[in-house]
Amino acid sequence: MLNRFMTIMVLIPLAIVLIALAVANRAPVAFTIDPFNPGNPGLTVSLPLFVYLFAALVLGLIIGSCATWLRQGRYRKLARQRETELATVSRPAQSTVDARPALPQPRP
């Protein structure tokens, strides 16, 4: 139910806005890598504006995801350490079971 709600209330309006943005910005725009000689055709790419906008959006998502993943590294490390600690503590130690003295037997 929540999946369907998310699709209807978030993704469909977002898709409509992105499609409208793409249709409105179809004019080709020159993107030059060389700031000192903007007329250099070897370092100039001409694509529609919406391609640059979507590329910037995707690049921002990737950079943000990588930054979040790197910032959470210490928590993943701590979780791995605690998992190994739990595995060693919860494993029954055979040497301590055998080393225990036997209980005295009750007298008849």
- Tell me the longest C-alpha to C-alpha distance in the chain: 108
Domain contains 92: no
Domain contains 102: no
Cβ 34 vs Cβ 40: under 8 Å: yes
Domain contains 82: no
Domain contains 39: yes
Range of the domain at 26: 2-74
pLDDT tens per residue, range 11-60:
888 889 989 988 988 899 988 888 788 777 888 889 999 999 999 999 99
Domain contains 57: yes
Domain contains 19: yes
pLDDT tens per residue, range 53-107:
999 999 999 999 999 999 999 999 999 999 999 988 887 655 555 556 666 777 7
Domain contains 85: no
What DSSP designation does 38 have? T
Cβ 31 vs Cβ 52: under 8 Å: yes
pTM of the model: 0.63
Instruction: Provide the number of structural domains found in the chain.
Output: 1
Cβ 31 vs Cβ 3: under 8 Å: no
Question: Using CA atoms, how far apart are residues 24 and 48, in angstroms rounded to an integer?
Answer: 10
Three-state SS at 25: coil
Domain contains 50: yes
